[in-house]
Structure 1
């Protein structure tokens, strides 16, 4: 028991050295000698689009008053793109990112790929994402982009290229949206034209086949003619009755009798054209009305398709989002990181806390053993 107590008491100084002194010395050497300066380039932008009726506050209300609103959805798309592999590939086309983070002027503790290993694309992407900060203010929809690099010029260049690529992305989305809208309108118009053309041809073929232009109008004309023939028939019959009553030997009686017979036959023939057989106007009216209705509906659809195309073109002109830069990428004139003194003090404080906890634990163990 006494041997254990002696060993535990002998650990006090080494424990202090291991938890406080050594980490503080290492932190002092790292922050004082080895850690490379980090410069932060900051820019701010907002994605503006025609007012969609949404609410906003602050700067958002200011933009809305000028006829624009802030499109949060496209702002988040822009954010995701900046943090994507495609953005890295576009910005690093000439090796800017690889040079900025992997050059030999950077401390081996902070440098990308310090051992010069090959096939480091995925590691470069993770390193690249760690050096970016993209935040979006929900109230004003202002997006802040911060780029960390080991030289102020390279930080500003990467920030500028990212903004340019983000603007290109929004322009591509605009073009795709406009193209889709107009293509949809043109497709609807072509389909409506085809339907209207087929309906007109079907109606024309039926007219030629049946010899009927408009059954309703033709039936009206026929009925008017029948009405006149009936009036004439009545007048002739009246005259015939009077002649037979007063002058039975009048030579006009046979003429009027023949006239009555002819008028009756003509009335029957005209009535047969209006109704009564398969080729009558009444029989053809149903099919004609169906074809005419289809033609009218097709014409209305064609008119609606033309209106839709025009509206699509107008909407394509209105539906245009773009990036408005509020603050250009800054050129930092002094390093923002690392915060050397705070790092050293934080290491000392954490070491003292750990040392105090371990000291209490060892004291508790010693008292328990005793």
Structure 2
């Protein structure tokens, strides 16, 4: 009788299990590499995800960056319209805001104002997900890489709406970080508007200020000149004097005609002497009054000339000032039209359940990654053996 044949009896009912254990052991010995290199990492990952991994919450906000020249308010048509084949035209200002949200400046600002380091080092966070991770240094460069993995800004190509996603270990923290990033972006846009406005109106404002300064200097010279000549308005004040001289000349002409007629009609008339004295008096008065208007440096004409020169300068500066003020208003309107704004389509939410970690996705990726690596190694080993046999 063959000794390998199994004969059951009533005292050894557990013996049939031995072949199963043997087969399992034999199978494991045949597939030990698969179990170690594929299944073991997958099981460890599953244990981490189920027993250790901390839930992470995502807060999402939607916003658009627009200019004042556009619509005064957001409508469904402006949000849902698309161009061409579905790719919306995005302004460079949108990319500026998106880049800022993922920049070092934004991370440093949140660290200073919102204690971002403490948020990502919560006590409930697991040792792999929290910062600092034990394999990384506790410095800003490593935190910035960590920050970029937890903050995402992407563009909807159909609607041109930017989508901000923030991931952290608490729902309230995610919402707070998203709110802080939107506020920081709005401050950035306001700063851009301020600098742009200053650049547009700086030159024109400087010209207006320079013209105002020149005009004040001319007015000061005009006031000093009036004090010097003791006249408020030489032009107006010269009118009575010129009129007075004109009247005297008219009287002299009339008296002279009467004198000539009297001399011709009555050469011996005693009135001739009276007319002659009147003519002499009028001639002397005209000479004196005329010397006050013209002739010397103290006469009225040089005073009027200096006054006219200052008045012409003031009028020119006033016209230049009016032109510069008009240019300044145009520059301000242009600056207002070029201003940009961050409009929130959907404010940051506080999620009700965690979206991370995504267990099935992570397990699938881990299994497929190690399985692909395992297959590649097996193929390389098999190829090497075939070459050795040849």
TM-score, length-scaled by structure 1: 0.68
Aligned to 2:10: none
Task: Tell me how far 1:243 sits from its aligned partner.
Answer: 0.9
Deviations 1:36-87 (A, max 9, x none): 36635142232566622499998572599xxxxx986377347514642112
Larger radius of gyration: 2
Q: Is residue 24 of structure 1 aligned with residue 38 of structure 2? A: yes
Return the alpha-carbon distance in structure 2 between the equivalents of residues 98 and 302 of structure 1: 62
Aligned to 1:210: 229
Task: Tell me how far 1:147 sits from its aligned partner.
Answer: 1.9
Return the alpha-carbon distance in structure 1 between the equivalents of residues 77 and 287 of structure 2: 82
Give matches, 1:235-246, under 5 Å: 235-246=254-265
Task: Tell me how far 1:327 sits from its aligned partner.
Answer: 4.4
Query: Against the structure 1 CA distance between its residues 362 and 269, is the aligned structure 2 distance closer, same or farther, given a 3 Å change threshold?
Result: farther
Return the alpha-carbon distance in structure 1 between the equivalents of residues 344 and 171 of structure 2: 21
Task: Tell me how far 1:303 sits from its aligned partner.
Answer: 10
Q: Is residue 98 of structure 1 aligned with residue 121 of structure 2? A: yes
Give matches, 1:104-119, under 5 Å: 105-106=125-126, 108-115=127-134, 119=138
Q: Where do 5+ consecutive residues of structure 1 fail to align? A: 1-15, 65-69
TM-score, length-scaled by structure 2: 0.65
Across the two proteins, how many residue pairs are aligned to each other?
A: 336
SS in 1 for 2:121: helix
Aligned to 1:3: none
Query: Against the structure 1 CA distance between its residues 142 and 88, is the aligned structure 2 distance closer, same or farther, given a 3 Å change threshold?
Result: farther
Aligned to 1:87: 110
Return the alpha-carbon distance in structure 2 between the equivalents of residues 255 and 350 of structure 1: 140
Query: Against the structure 1 CA distance between its residues 230 and 340, is the aligned structure 2 distance closer, same or farther, given a 3 Å change threshold?
Result: same
Q: Is residue 350 of structure 1 aligned with residue 372 of structure 2? A: yes
Aligned to 1:51: 68
1:40/1:146 contact within 8 Å kept? no
Give matches, 1:252-331, under 5 Å: 252-296=271-315, 301=321, 321=341, 323-331=343-351
Return the alpha-carbon distance in structure 1 between the equivalents of residues 37 and 301 of structure 2: 106
1:203/1:295 contact within 8 Å kept? no
Between 1:166-175 and 1:206-215, the stretch displaced more is 166-175
Aligned to 2:174: 158
Query: Against the structure 1 CA distance between its residues 114 and 328, is the aligned structure 2 distance closer, same or farther, given a 3 Å change threshold?
Result: closer
